[in-house]
């Protein structure tokens, strides 16, 4: 049983913040564990001190929970204490000075250049085999744009005719927070886009457009409407299987990561990659340099006879 004021906090999350039932269930489990811990210490949330929250965090780590799980559980506790204090239910916030464990920064997943070429060669062969099949033409252009420009799936789905300059080999992209950027189109992207627009897209045009937005879309789905994010995901799964690759390896964001990683691997300037991907800060782009470094270390460990262990100075 949770205290009445904690139940009111959960109602606030559900009604006023619009949190999903799954999120509310997760909050409830986290707070029940926290309340149970406090009860074992003959304490309640209303009288808890920062030392109690620190002890709770320590107990979670000692239980062998992953840092991500500890961080989530402490976030539930912190949010509850903050709201109850702000509402005047509790006199002070016992979690205010308690820090969550620092999570290791995950490296983005990226395909190797060989895997990308296998994927692109496979869809190229599909176009050759199927002739002017509109889906093969669309999928080839879609993959070339995703990998060739590093655009986000939402940006590709939102592409309209006014955004594409095939003669100038440029693409106007509307990114996060409606921030516009110009991205170069490689010769493969230009060629496959031109073939899709000229030969493939007209075959998917419906008798009557559902909206002006659909009529202006570059990429169309099977029913003649603008291609959706889910539609792009299904295309990648289908083309990965056809190429003999695991569908679990490939997603629109993996192709974006692959584009950035391969650019840096081949000597591109990090500021240029930042601008191309639409990152607000270069620190976001710098994570791809870690991928390149890790690949270098892996190649060294796999091939060099004296690379059984990474030297200590490399960790500093």
Q: Which positions are catalytic? A: 152, 176, 253, 256, 279, 288
Distant-in-sequence, close-in-space partners of 316: CB < 8 Å, separation ≥ 6: none
Distant-in-sequence, close-in-space partners of 180: CB < 8 Å, separation ≥ 6: 172, 173, 174
DSSP at 217: B
Strands across the sheet containing 180-184: 164-165, 170-174, 180-184
Helices 50-62 and 67-86 pack at an angle, to 10 degrees, of 160
Start-to-end C-alpha separation, the chain: 49
Phi, psi of 88 (to 5 degrees): 80, 10
Q: Report the candidate in 234, 166, 176, 228 with the shortest Cα–Cα distance to residue 197.
A: 166
SS3 196: helix
| Residue 132 to residue 184: CA distance in whole angstroms | 26
DSSP at 106: P
Distant-in-sequence, close-in-space partners of 24: CB < 8 Å, separation ≥ 6: 10, 13, 14
* Alpha helices by DSSP H, the chain: 4-15, 21-40, 50-62, 67-86, 113-130, 134-149, 153-157, 187-195, 212-215, 229-242, 252-265, 270-277, 282-285, 287-303
The length of the chain is 316
Q: Report the candidate in 236, 161, 148 with the shortest Cα–Cα distance to residue 189.
A: 148
């Amino acid at each position: 049983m949770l205290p009445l004021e904690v139940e009111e906090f959960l109602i606030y999350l559900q009604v006023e913040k619009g949190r999903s039932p799954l999120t509310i269930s997760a909050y409830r489990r986290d707070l029940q564990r926290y309340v149970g811990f406090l009860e074992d210490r003959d304490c309640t949330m209303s009288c808890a001190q920062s030392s109690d929250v620190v002890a709770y965090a320590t107990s979670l780590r000692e239980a062998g929970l992953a840092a991500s799980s500890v961080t989530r559980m402490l976030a539930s506790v912190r949010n509850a204490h903050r709201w109850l204090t702000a509402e005047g239910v509790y006199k002070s916030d016992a979690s205010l000075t308690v820090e969550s464990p620092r999570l290791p920064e995950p490296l983005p997943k990226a395909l190797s250049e060989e895997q990308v070429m296998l994927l692109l060669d496979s869809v190229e062969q599909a176009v050759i085999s199927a002739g002017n099949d509109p889906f093969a033409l669309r999928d080839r252009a879609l993959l070339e744009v995703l990998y060739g420009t590093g655009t986000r799936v939402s940006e590709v789905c939102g592409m309209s005719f006014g955004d594409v300059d095939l003669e100038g080999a440029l693409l106007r992209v509307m990114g996060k927070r409606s921030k516009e950027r110009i991205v170069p189109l490689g010769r493969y992207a230009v060629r496959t886009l031109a073939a899709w627009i000229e030969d493939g897209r007209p075959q998917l045009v419906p008798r009557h457009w559902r909206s002006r937005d659909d009529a202006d879309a570059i990429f169309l789905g099977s029913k003649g409407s603008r291609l959706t994010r889910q539609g792009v995901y299904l295309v990648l799964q289908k083309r990965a299987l056809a190429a003999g690759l695991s569908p679990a390896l490939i997603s629109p964001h993996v192709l974006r990561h692959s584009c950035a990683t391969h650019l840096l691997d081949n000597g591109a300037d990090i500021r240029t990659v930042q601008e191309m991907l639409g990152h607000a800060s270069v620190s976001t782009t710098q994570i791809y340099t870690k991928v390149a470094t890790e690949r270098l270390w892996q190649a060294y460990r796999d091939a060099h006879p004296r690379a059984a262990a990474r030297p200590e100075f490399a960790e500093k």
